[in-house]
Structure 1
């Protein structure tokens, strides 16, 4: 017997039986790239405001009340590229948001990457960010073997601009926290703990949705969590998909330890292999397109994996199509270890009529970060934001 729940996505009621919805992914489409026309959007050696000004997040954009376009693809200093349109943006070095390097791990105000933006009027802009706490930054790690994985906790936090995007501020920590693990900080949790990245925010009816990623910790499984709110101004208003509805709430950040941590976990979404870097609405076929990157070993046995960008489709954010390859970046053959050659893929349409660039028709650009030092098999800050024209063909 089917049971109907009281929520819709894109006007479609979801009927669920044995935990699965009757909605299927949307009609097939093919995304092709014109790789011969790759463009530089931000060249680190020439355009940087400081050594630390690197493209370290997916490209996201919004239009301000005065018509300016803000493009963020940023590190934790959060310097925007600003211009009159998405095709002509340059770094605005005087405007940036940096967290306070608060040493209290429960406040999540050490370093924050602004990762997604949403505005209705171009004046008030809401931003969800990934706020990291590394114990190694504060000598608060018992055995720092690998800095990127030991004593690493993260939360999704809310920042707000009331002046069209020129400045952002937060509520007094920890009241700015949207999503965090229902446990207090401990040394060496075994893997990064908490919630780490967020997709674009998309609106359907009175609700706003986003996908956030967790590596999994204790009761929480690894994967993408779908969450929603009807009030972007309230960090505590977000609710969690639990497999049947949006029935769970994140733990109170003032009292993160709880006797029932399982009541503050999500049911991860099947069919998404990695962190969703871009989520947008394809208007001609009335479906969502999501983009992520994975490591993919080539056909040559024993070779190092390449970086592969893939896209998937959905009508309801819950049920996704089979992944299709969008772009692949080869790992240099001379490297003995895996090196990052590209990351943070997103799709943006400069001609979108949406203030948040959350829609696309059949033309746009694939944006991503290109790591220039990969040919030397070394990691460095030398990386650029580039874009490639794309076309979407409907079958």
Structure 2
């Protein structure tokens, strides 16, 4: 048996195939004031130490909480809970910065973590290639992200997450490579972009990934799983059953082109966090969203949905109203990258919650700097209460 792990697959923009009315009556509310875990201007290791992904945590073999909310330098925070977390300035992993889109070895963000012993740690990373970084052509480019292509790659650590290496040599480290080859005349490339944290449930590992299409209508969130005792195979939910998406061989990941079904409420883009409430056995997702109502102001911020089976989800419910990027005027702060973490969870992956947990997110704060804007960042948590409605 190959002791390995990969993470996540297929997400969707838009509605849910087989979407039903709310199926899990769980209420999540903010129950306290914000606390800053990390401020890049105060305790950043350097000017590049900027939280740029949802927070992910695991408990290592020494019982310490190791949390990532990384940019491509993949630094961590270490402590025994939120109140004692300290930034570690060492980079846990950095991609090679190669100017080859087919290799997916330019920049990588650790976005999902799995371990069953705290020593051997596996991660799924979001691996991006942006041609502007390498002075490569992109037809009709107007912004840096044009012609950006993305896949999900696997990594492994044998020292408790202190350092990671690819699981397989590029490009065979990717169980979820881009669905179509890179082209410099396609500004929006189909891609696997992001992945939630991994949760363990009924002998499987589950995650939700965002599968971006070249249009909004076909983009979607997708549910994936792997056997908990043999995570060398990942399956995707196709709307009827789970079918194989990728398997690990001696040469690396062997990938099948499979189409996943949409999961999640209608109109929601990438789901960022996933936990299970132990008391009710209800799953909770969190994401950025905006509700528009006729003749009323828009409501934007962090929303959540609930489910009893990971396939059928409730409609979006407001958790914490906050300005998103499109809401903020020049120079005004905005938020991104939400997750839910219960720092006293008994689960080594922090994939379960009880009635008290925290919404963790990033606040981006533009500040004038010479003739441009410099954006500092805070990693923030706010207490939440979870109860059966």
TM over 0.5: yes
Higher relative contact order (CA 8 A, sep 6+): 2
> What SS is found at the alignment partner of 2:46?
coil
**1:208 and 2:205 aligned:** yes
> What SS is found at the alignment partner of 1:77?
coil
> What SS is found at the alignment partner of 2:283?
strand
Provide, for residues 308-345 of structure 1, a one-character-per-residue CA deviation record: whole Å limited to 9, x for no partner.
Answer: 11100111111001210001113799965797600111
**Quick one: structure 1 residues 331 and 179, their matched pair in 2 at CA, closer, same or farther if it must change by over 3 Å?**
closer
State the TM-score, normalizing by the size of structure 1.
0.83
The CA RMSD measured in Å over matched residues stands at 3.4
Partner of 2:97: 101
When structure 1 is superposed on structure 2, of 276-285 and 144-153 the one drifting more is 144-153
Partner of 2:4: none
Task: Tell whether the 8 Å contact from 1:59 to 1:346 is kept in structure 2 after alignment.
Answer: yes
1:192-271 alignment, distance < 5 Å: 192-217=189-214, 221-230=218-227, 237-249=233-245, 263-271=257-265
**Quick one: structure 1 residues 298 and 113, their matched pair in 2 at CA, closer, same or farther if it must change by over 3 Å?**
farther
Q: Measure how far apart 1:206 and its partner are.
A: 3.1
**1:391 and 2:385 aligned:** yes
Structure 1, unaligned runs of 5 or more: 1-18
1:292-371 alignment, distance < 5 Å: 292-296=287-291, 307-330=300-323, 341-371=334-364
> What SS is found at the alignment partner of 1:116?
strand
**Quick one: structure 1 residues 42 and 392, their matched pair in 2 at CA, closer, same or farther if it must change by over 3 Å?**
same
Provide, for residues 96-145 of structure 1, a one-character-per-residue CA deviation record: whole Å limited to 9, x for no partner.
Answer: 31100011211111100101111111111111111001111122233362
Cα distance in structure 1, aligned partners of 2:80 and 2:105: 32
Cα distance in structure 1, aligned partners of 2:117 and 2:248: 30
Cα distance in structure 2, aligned partners of 1:142 and 1:346: 34
Task: Tell whether the 8 Å contact from 2:141 to 2:187 is kept in structure 1 after alignment.
Answer: no
Partner of 1:128: 124
Task: Tell whether the 8 Å contact from 1:26 to 1:285 is kept in structure 2 after alignment.
Answer: no
Q: Measure how far apart 1:200 and its partner are.
A: 1.2
1:112-151 alignment, distance < 5 Å: 112-143=108-139, 145-151=141-147
> What SS is found at the alignment partner of 2:384?
strand
Cα distance in structure 1, aligned partners of 2:345 and 2:205: 19
Partner of 1:3: none
> What SS is found at the alignment partner of 1:179?
coil
Provide, for residues 137-181 of structure 1, a one-character-per-residue CA deviation record: whole Å limited to 9, x for no partner.
Answer: 122233362334311100011111111111111121112102023
**Quick one: structure 1 residues 322 and 20, their matched pair in 2 at CA, closer, same or farther if it must change by over 3 Å?**
closer
Partner of 2:64: 68
Task: Tell whether the 8 Å contact from 1:26 to 1:315 is kept in structure 2 after alignment.
Answer: yes
Structure 2, unaligned runs of 5 or more: 1-16
**Quick one: structure 1 residues 240 and 218, their matched pair in 2 at CA, closer, same or farther if it must change by over 3 Å?**
farther
Partner of 1:179: 176
Cα distance in structure 2, aligned partners of 1:34 and 1:77: 33
When structure 1 is superposed on structure 2, of 218-227 and 44-53 the one drifting more is 218-227
> Which of the numbers 281, 287, 295 marks the counterpart of 1:286?
281
Provide, for residues 199-220 of structure 1, a one-character-per-residue CA deviation record: whole Å limited to 9, x for no partner.
Answer: 1112223321111102214899
Q: Measure how far apart 1:93 and its partner are.
A: 0.5
